[in-house]
Amino acid sequence: MSRKPKKGYFVRGQFVAEGSELDLQLKAELKGTEASKTDLKRESTDLQKLGEALLELRADLLQGLPLADKLADALAEAKRITNFEGKRRQMQYIGKLMRGLDEPTLQAVRDALEEQRAGSAGEALALHEAEKWRDELIASEEALQQWLNAHPQTDSQQLRALVRQARKDAQPDAQALSKGLAPRRGRAYREIFQLVREQLAKAEVSSSGAGSSSPA
């Protein structure tokens, strides 16, 4: 009775039986190679996205980066291209150039992007604080006094006049009420915001980054 042939395959003229130690070793090596290809593809995609993010980086931060002239020129060209396909090809080229950067340069790029993100978040927070103060000042005398206590350099006469006018502007007339319209926001409303924003910025500078007080 003939023996049933083993299942397997040949590698460089050598038969490798399925399930054998050599089979398992070869499959492990193959899996490692595929994983490496996946990692390289992921890294390439990440670097291209990093290059795309550079297009939105502020000029002062971009100029401070140690980028090669070829990459700097490619970024400038990408900003000028409006055609979709042309833009896509240019971004692929930028991704290729990004892969040639050393790790210190890549880290400098990431740091610059993070600095811009942090600045944008800080600006949004400052605007939100100014808006909150403006609304509180118009809404209550207590907030007005709290502001003047916290920011004694404010022209109190000017601020009180603006608050009175903003409150007057906010009173809806009969026609607006009948139509369900929101209270009108006049010039005083905008000027209070500007005054508060400027005072908060001055306080931020004078306190070397210390947070300003907010209405309770």
Tokens found for residue 5: 């042939």
Helices 156-170 and 187-206: crossing angle in degrees, nearest 10, is: 140
- 13 band by pLDDT with thresholds 50, 70 and 90: low
Tell me what pLDDT residue 1 has. Answer: 47
Amino acid at 204: E
Tell me what pLDDT residue 160 has. Answer: 93
Is the predicted pLDDT of residue 216 greater than 60, yes or no?
no
Tell me what pLDDT residue 137 has. Answer: 93
Tell me what pLDDT residue 73 has. Answer: 93
Rounded to whole angstroms, the Cα distance separating 140 from 192 reads 14
Structural domains in the chain, sorted by start: 8-101 (1.10.60.30), 123-206 (1.10.60.30)
Q: What are the angstrom distances between the C-alpha of 169 and each of 163, 185, 189?
A: 10, 6, 8
Tell me what pLDDT residue 8 has. Answer: 67
Identify the CA nearest to 112 among candidates 71, 155, 156, 51: 51
- 11 band by pLDDT with thresholds 50, 70 and 90: low
Tell me what pLDDT residue 35 has. Answer: 45
What pLDDT digit, counting tens, does each position of 58-112 carry? 888 888 889 999 999 999 999 889 889 999 999 999 988 988 888 899 899 999 9
Is the predicted pLDDT of residue 19 greater than 80, yes or no?
no
Listed in sequence order, the residues at least 6 apart from 215 whose beta carbon sits closer than 8 Å to its beta carbon are 132, 133, 136, 143, 146, 147
Q: What are the angstrom distances between the C-alpha of 85 and each of 46, 52, 203?
A: 20, 15, 49
Tell me what pLDDT residue 103 has. Answer: 87
The end-to-end CA distance of the chain, in Å, is: 94
Tell me what pLDDT residue 16 has. Answer: 67
What pLDDT digit, counting tens, does each position of 116-149 carry? 887 777 777 888 888 999 999 999 999 999 999 9
Residues 43-50, mean pLDDT to the nearest whole number: 83
Tell me what pLDDT residue 183 has. Answer: 57
Listed in sequence order, the residues at least 6 apart from 51 whose beta carbon sits closer than 8 Å to its beta carbon are 75, 91, 94, 95, 97, 98
- Does residue 168 or residue 172 have the better pLDDT? 168
Is the predicted pLDDT of residue 20 greater than 60, yes or no?
yes
Tell me what pLDDT residue 93 has. Answer: 92
